[in-house]
């Protein structure tokens, strides 16, 4: 029954994408390009761990300018990127001029090769070379070739950017103006955001997880929290597209949810670290009811807490 349902989904979706030429194994997940503003569309991945939903767990944004298209983040497999490209071709036949990566985590970058093969330039935050050249990057790709086969396979590769962004970079596209803001280390080793004018849409990458518990991983939670404090004071944002979760029409609330969760982790765990308690003792004593009903809490919270616990221990040794 499950196999038959997959076949039916592929057949239905095939009628929607017409004669688009696919070069990679076809994904069968549901993907809908949603219009946010006159120039901005996005697709929303489902909540889950990295290998759920054929890897479609993150968001990607499409910005249609006067002469070309900018994509922000390329999804977690070449197959998903092709599915996104087929969706784009339903709204515009303009060339894909560039792909901007908000950060270099696997669920946002394994689709880059699809756009690179079609002539797009890849822009990324400065500082991602260390990751791309690391054993961790190679190990993660090898793991995904197993856990997301056939959508990540031997033909999937890491794509180096054509340009690395540091500071503020403005791209004037005539009808739209894109401001790329380099954040440095926050959620990942190197993050950036994209602000689209005149639509006043902020694309935050994984600095914001809307309506769900974020993934902390090996992030710098202290720097991340400081970044969110600055973002909370930014005016004029009409809509926010996060790295994960739904579109936020009330951007301040979306920023505050991620910020409050990180602040709570650091505050509650920090008190236990000062008392030299073990992680299990601290974790079991914390009241998690404030966040327990959020999507991804069960999968992510204990792992997040342990990552922050280790970071706080390191910080205490630096004082």
pLDDT at 14 over 80: no
pLDDT at 319: 65
Distance of CA 313 to the CA centre of its chain: 28
- Write down the pTM of the prediction: 0.86
Q: How far apart are CA 192 and CA 214, in angstroms?
A: 17
CA dihedral 225, 229, 231, 235 (to 10 degrees): 170
* Rounded average pLDDT over 273-291: 96
pLDDT at 168: 92
Mean pLDDT of 232-258: 89
Q: Please, are residues 108 and 241 in contact by the beta-carbon 8 Å criterion? A: no
Question: Residue written as tokens 């670290």?
Answer: 273
Span 110-125, pLDDT tens digits: 999 999 999 999 999 9
Structure token digits, residue 10: 């592929």
Neighbours of 304 (CB within 10 A): 23
Query: What tens digit of pLDDT does each residue of 32-87 get?
Result: 999 999 999 999 999 878 889 999 999 999 999 999 999 999 999 999 999 999 99
Work out whether the CA dihedral 187, 231, 175, 245 comes out positive or negative.
positive
Q: Which CATH architecture has domain 2-318?
A: 4-Layer Sandwich (3.60)
Those residues whose C-beta lies under 8 Å from the C-beta of residue 278, and which sit 6 or more positions away, are: none
pLDDT at 7 > cutoff 90: no
**Tens-digit pLDDT profile for residues 136-178:** 999 999 999 999 999 999 999 999 999 999 999 999 987 899 9
């Amino acid at each position: 029954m499950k196999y038959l349902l997959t076949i039916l989904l592929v057949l239905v979706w095939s009628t929607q994408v017409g004669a688009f030429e696919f070069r990679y194994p076809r994904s069968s997940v549901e993907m809908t390009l949603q219009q946010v503003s006159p120039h901005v569309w996005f697709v929303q991945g489902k909540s889950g761990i990295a290998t759920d939903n054929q890897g479609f767990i993150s968001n990607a944004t499409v910005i249609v300018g006067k002469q070309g298209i900018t994509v922000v983040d390329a999804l977690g497999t070449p197959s998903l990127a092709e599915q996104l490209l087929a969706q784009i071709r339903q709204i515009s036949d303009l060339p894909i001029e560039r792909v901007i990566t908000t950060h270099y985590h696997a669920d946002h970058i394994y689709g880059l090769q699809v756009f690179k093969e079609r002539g797009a330039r890849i822009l990324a935050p400065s500082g991602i070379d260390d990751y791309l050249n690391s054993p961790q990057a190679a190990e993660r790709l090898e793991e995904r070739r197993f856990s997301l086969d056939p959508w990540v396979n031997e033909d999937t590769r890491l794509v180096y950017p054509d340009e690395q962004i540091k500071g503020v970079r403005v791209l004037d596209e005539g009808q739209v103006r894109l401001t790329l803001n380099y954040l440095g280390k926050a959620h990942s080793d190197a993050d950036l955001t994209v602000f689209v004018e005149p639509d006043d849409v902020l694309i935050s990458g994984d600095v914001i997880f809307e309506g769900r518990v974020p993934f902390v991983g090996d992030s710098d939670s202290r720097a991340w929290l400081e970044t969110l404090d600055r973002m909370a004071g930014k005016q004029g944002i009409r809509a926010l597209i996060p790295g994960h979760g739904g579109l936020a029409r009330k951007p301040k609330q979306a920023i505050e949810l991620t910020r409050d969760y990180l602040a709570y982790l650091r505050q509650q765990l920090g008190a236990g670290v000062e008392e030299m308690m073990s992680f299990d003792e601290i974790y079991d004593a914390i009241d998690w009811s404030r966040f327990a009903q959020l999507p991804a809490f069960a999968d992510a919270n204990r792992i997040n807490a342990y990552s922050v616990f280790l970071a706080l221990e390191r910080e205490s040794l630096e004082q």
